[in-house]
Amino acid sequence: MSGALISRERLLEVYGSLETMHAWRGWHWWPDADPFEVIVGAILVQNTAWTNVERALSRLREADVLAPAAMAALADSTLEELVRPSGQYRQKARKLRAFLALSEASGGLDQLLALPPDELRRVLLATWGIGPETADCVVVYAARQPAFVVDAYTARVFSRLGLGPGETAGYDAWQALFTTHLEPDRDFWARYHALVVMHAKHLCRKSRPLCSECSLRDVCLWPGAAG
């Protein structure tokens, strides 16, 4: 399978296989997660595993500060301690502060998330500590507007399938693989990303993937996948 075979139909076939394999699994941002909790999680998950983020979110929830005003009122040291389980806690506390400042300057969280998706993405990317992946997570899962999130899992799964620009390609190149072939649809794009993450975590692992349990193994280029 080569890049020449990339098409809307092929991407939909992959989606169907992923849905069949993982529809029963839970997803932490789907479908009705609290927008602010999504944003906090999207910042805290940078460079760490989601299990560590869950620990930090539990601490924030227990402290009753998973709301913009409550979090903004915290002392820096208190916020840092609450998010410590997510790693790089001082830096991540600063990133949360930067987002809170953006929210306040925009007239509040609701007003910020109501911006058109392209404008929302632009102001997010102009905020310290927010890169393309985090910004797109905020747009699609918190603002519930169309954005296609890609990450290292996306590059791994689709490179093994022989689809896409190559595992070392940049964010924009990988995102274009989907946005140029799939019509903008918030729910579908959000679900597609969720399925890719679940597939990479549970079956298409970085090392020792569970190919025998994968319905895509017959079209996979990973050595031994078809065995």
pLDDT at 1 over 50: no
Model confidence over 126-160: pLDDT tens digits? 999 999 999 999 999 999 999 999 999 999 999 99
Domain range list for the chain: 3-27+149-219, 35-142
Q: Where do we find the tokens 């969280």?
A: 109
What's the mean pLDDT in 54-71? 97
Looking at residue 27, its pLDDT comes to 81
Quickly state the pLDDT bin for 4 (edges 50, 70, 90): very low
| Residues 186-220: tens digit of each pLDDT | 999 999 999 999 999 999 999 999 999 999 999 99
Q: What is the mean pLDDT of the chain?
A: 94
Which residues, including other chains, have CB under 8 Å from residue 192's CB and lie 6 or more apart?
15, 18, 148, 178, 182
pLDDT digits (tens, 9 = 90+) for 170-194: 999 999 999 999 999 999 999 999 9
Same fold, 3-27+149-219 and 35-142: no
d(CA 6, CA 162): 9
The pLDDT value given to residue 227: 59
Q: Give the pLDDT band of residue 226 (cuts 50, 70, 90).
A: low
Cα–Cα distances in Å, from 160 out to 148, 203, 225?
A: 20, 13, 10
Class of domain 35-142 (CATH, top level): mainly alpha
pLDDT at 3: 45
**126-134: long-range contacts at Cβ-Cβ below 8 A with a sequence spacing of 24 or more?**
127/98, 127/99, 127/102, 128/94, 128/95, 128/98, 129/43, 129/91, 129/92, 129/94, 129/95, 129/98, 129/99, 130/43, 130/95, 130/98, 130/99, 132/171, 132/172, 132/175, 133/171, 134/42, 134/43, 134/46
Q: Which helix H or strand E contains 41, and what residues bound it?
A: helix 35-44
| CATH annotation of 3-27+149-219 | 1.10.1670.10
Region 29-40: mean pLDDT is 88
pLDDT at 2: 41
